[in-house]
Chain A
């Protein structure tokens, strides 16, 4: 069905609470990404996953960790959320190849507010 699904879509958490954002894809893509986007800005890469249990840091990994135990699922975890982690989080996936690897499929985003 070529879809990337993010849950939850909207979330309000208190500072210090743990946050779990989940992402699933049905295209058997090897590579998955987590980005955050703040108002008026582009997407900042948090983590990339090349396949199950093969994850690598992006530009802004501090305060985040990820988990990929199945190819179709990629989770983003915030241990002890901070107010500056209020943002919209996008998950994306792609095949690994030279051409197809440049085509990202995005989920609809998860809007997180930390108060």
Chain B
């Protein structure tokens, strides 16, 4: 579908941080959101951005650069339970929302 790309896998260490990258190319832009999905469960909304810059929401922060078609989700003070798949989703000018394939984050002790 519309191009939303994420790396397949990411590994980090408990207590540190992880940055999940997302690049997109869609028919217009009307917002970008991030979801967490655990195995066998539905995605859960984390954050959305519509303007450029960094949005700090504590444990999760989100950055957006519309001119570069780029976003990242930053998780700080990682815990083992943060291990999950993180999905990037972009809303186009027709309000359709397209997802990337997800990045599987593994947090090691």
Contact = CB atoms under 8 A, between A and B. Distances in A.
Contact of B42 (A90, A101, A103): A90
A33 interface: yes
Contacts of B42: 90, 106-109
B101 interface: yes
For chain B, the bracket of interface size reads 20 to 34
B72 interface: no
A99 B50 contact: yes
Q: Give the interface size bracket for A toward B.
A: 20 to 34
B102 A42 contact: yes
A68 B102 CA distance: 29
A96 B97 CA distance: 12
Contacts, number: 74
B33 interface: yes
A105 B91 CA distance: 15
B33 A104 contact: yes
Interface stretch (A14-22, A44-52, A76-84): A44-52
A103 B50 CA distance: 12
Contact of A48 (B35, B44, B95, B101): B95
A74 interface: no
B1 A104 contact: no
B91 A45 contact: no
5 contacts: A42-B87, A56-B96, A99-B31, A104-B45, A109-B41
Interface of A: 31, 33, 35, 40-45, 48, 50, 56, 58-60, 90, 96, 98-99, 101-109
Interface of B: 1-2, 4, 30-33, 35, 41-45, 48, 50, 87, 89, 91, 94-102
